[in-house]
Structures are given as structure tokens and as C-alpha cells.
Amino acid sequence: MSALNPAYQHLYELAAQVGIALRTRGCALATAESCTGGWIAKEITDISGSSGWFDRGFVTYSNAAKTDLLGVRAATIARYGAVSTEVVTEMAAGALERSRADLVIAVSGIAGPEGGTPDKPVGTVYLAWALRDGPVQTEIRHFPGNRDEVRLEAVAAALQGVLDVFARQ
């Protein structure tokens, strides 16, 4: 189905580039996803041979899942909100601790149409990338559009971020 829609084809191409970058470096990837609901892992596993460089994906949509599966502190969620730099940083750290991955992606956002606030409107997405034994890099993005468009752009940004992490090394 990816070949039929240009937006989905773009995601497939990004995932393929991520696979090449990881395979070339002998690295494995894990994902910790909230608002994308496993879409990043889906794009990655659409690539034949991804089992050689994709370790696992955590879909932690609820706050309890973030705490139970990734060790995000309830106090962090209470203080900063599930959609925050602090939470995606803890999600990334938890995914590294609970996987064999060398690099992780963490994403939490407000895809809408409900849930936005004046401080964090619909389309607000926090992303984090962390290399094992390296710093966590975070980014906040604001994507326009409906729920599907926000989520699609978040997936694209997450995959592109992997390539950017390697480009900075």
C-alpha cells in the first residue's frame, strides 16, 4: 500500500534510509511511541530485513503504560504533562534500559482533534532520540492538519531524526 500514496511512499523511503544507516553502523533501533501508536515501528518493519536492525517497539499510549513499560516517573508526568520534553526524555532512557537497541526514538504529542491547550495546542509533538551512552536529543514540533496528518508528520520527523543523529556524529 505504501507505493500508492506519495506521503506513505515518503515514509517507506525514510524507513529504508534509516535501515541502511543502522545496518552500516551495526546498530539496532527501538521505538517508544505514544501519539504515533506504533506507526514508526510499522514503517520500519515494512522494510524487508528490518529484523536485522530493529529490536523492538513500545506503544505507551496511556500514562500508566509509560510508567509500567518504560519507567517514566509518575511525578514527571504530573509535573510536566505526558506531552513534554521531560517525558520523552524519560521514555527514551527507559527504552534504552529495556532493550538491546543502540538508538531509540521516543514520541509523545497531541494529535487531536481534542486535547489541545493554549500552551500545547493540537499538533504539538515532542520527539527524542538517544544513543546508548550518549546524550538525549529532543525537539518540539508543531504540525498543522488533522489527526492523521499530525501523526504522519510525527512519524516522518522521527525517522528523519535518526538520520540527523547519525549525520551529526
Residue 89: half-sphere exposure toward Cβ, Cα within 13 Å: 14
* pLDDT for position 3: 52
- Residue 4 pLDDT grade (very low, low, confident, very high; cuts 50, 70, 90): low
Average pLDDT over residues 34-54: 98
Res 2 pLDDT > 50:
no
* pLDDT for position 52: 97
- pLDDT over 70 percentage in the chain: 98
Cell digits for 26?
A: 551495526
Question: Chain-wide mean pLDDT for the chain?
Answer: 96
Cell digits for 134?
A: 550518549
- R_g (Cα) of the chain, nearest Å: 15
Residue type, 25: R
Q: Residue 162: CB partners within 8 Å, gap ≥ 6? A: 18, 21, 22, 29, 103, 105, 129
CB 87 within 8 A of CB 61: no
What string of DSSP letters covers the chain? -TTTSHHHHHHHHHHHHHHHHHHHHT--EEEEESTTTTHHHHHHHTSTTGGGTEEEEEE--SHHHHHHHH---HHHHHHH-SSSHHHHHHHHHHHHHTSS-SEEEEEEE--SSS---SSS-TTEEEEEEEETTS-EEEEEEE--SSHHHHHHHHHHHHHHHHHHHHHH-
Res 78 pLDDT > 80:
yes
Res 145 pLDDT > 80:
yes
> Phi-psi region for residue 73, left (φ > 0), alpha (ψ -120 to 50) or beta?
beta
Average pLDDT over residues 109-136: 96
Res 140 pLDDT > 90:
yes
* pLDDT for position 7: 84
CB 158 within 8 A of CB 36: yes
* pLDDT for position 1: 44
- Domains assigned to the chain: 6-168 (3.90.950.20)
- Residue 60 pLDDT grade (very low, low, confident, very high; cuts 50, 70, 90): very high
